[in-house]
Amino acid sequence: MIEETNSEFDGSEPGQKKVFTLPAIESSLDLSANPPELRPVLIDGILRKGHKMSLSAPSKAGKSFALINLALSFAHGAEWLGFPCKPCRCLYVNFEIDRASCWQRFETVAQAREINAGHENLKIWNLRGYNAPIEDLIPALILDIGANQYEAVIIDPLYKMYQSTRVRTFDENSAASLSYLFCEFDRLIRECDCALIMAGHYSKGMQGAKSSIDRTSGSGVLGRDPDAILSMTELEATEGGYRLESVLRDFPSTVNLSLRWEYPLHIVDPMLDCEALKGGAGRKQAFNGGALLDAFQKLDTGAGVPVEKMLEALGVKAVNTLKARIADLEASGMNNIGLHVQGNKVLSTIKNCQK
């Protein structure tokens, strides 16, 4: 048993003592002989049960739709943005939109995916307008999660939990404030054995020039504490285009996907891989040239493809973006059909490139 003097956040009289239990110190020999099992994976290559994940993006980028999509993926055991998800019980905590609008979003996303919105694995807690402090919300969540055995809990958005009776002035830019909140999250995870997923928001201004770990508004705790940090950043030329990037603590590979927003879903679109982040310092080097060639070959009738049709097929609006992609194709050594823009057409130096 360990005794500790209360801090300013403990809500008790100065100088009082509290008693709590810490886990035993373990021998490396014992751990080597009986290694603990890794926690089950809930999102393949991204998130384990008992871990924390944040998804941050600019305002109105469709974060809630992406997390509703994730909640449905957990319930059905389906893929999310191409990543397999373990079927599990999920609680979606909605702080932001009214009850009817929230359910309409679930139904809209489910319909677009051709699955059912209603599922025994999915529950929703609508808390818009209920300004409860952390000290009330966390115990209530612990009771409900314990009773229902949720494996994943989604909090949307995180900043709605920035209220406390113990922190005198809760400030998202304060490491002390955020550390207190995340310690409460750790308590919830420890007692309920679940994963916690939260929606963050970007700070003002262009974020493309920043490291993905630094784009979320608030204290640096938000860039250090979660086990999986996902950021969804606008692309330079494509309206509704985003790049999903990750910083992962428990998995070797990183997420780096280009997405196209088509209400109500984010669609993985490799054709956007060459595009720069909005406010960034240049185009992303990785490029799926085969996808560009496929688009041209499907549309070409032997006389070239109108630029408008190519732009539509690629989901972009600017001719310069198309030219940049062809330049990347050339630089990669993949432009073996001499693809180029001439006037209002995309042409090939090889006649009739249809498959």
Q: Name the residue with tokens 């997420």.
A: 255
Dist CA 234 CA 24 (whole Å): 46
Predicted model pTM: 0.74
Alpha carbons within 13 A on the beta-carbon side of 102 = 17
Alpha carbons within 13 A on the beta-carbon side of 355 = 7
Question: Where along the chain do its domains lie?
Answer: 46-272, 289-347
Report pLDDT digits (tens) over 152-207. 999 999 999 998 988 878 888 888 899 999 999 999 999 999 999 999 988 665 55
Write out the DSSP string of 154-198: EEE-GGGG---SSSSS--TT-HHHHHHHHHHHHHHHHHH--EEEE
Residue 216 has pLDDT above 50, yes or no: yes
The domain 46-272 is placed in CATH, from the list 3.40.50.300, 1.10.10.10, 3.40.1080.10, 3.10.129.10, at 3.40.50.300
Dist CA 307 CA 311 (whole Å): 6
Dist CA 353 CA 310 (whole Å): 15
Dist CA 75 CA 120 (whole Å): 8
Taking residues 33-44, report their average pLDDT: 97
Closest CA to 239 of 64, 104, 62: 62
CB atoms within 10 A of CB 353: 21
| Contact between 314 and 322 (Cβ < 8 Å) | yes
Percentage of the chain surpassing pLDDT 70? 84
Closest CA to 287 of 248, 330, 320: 330
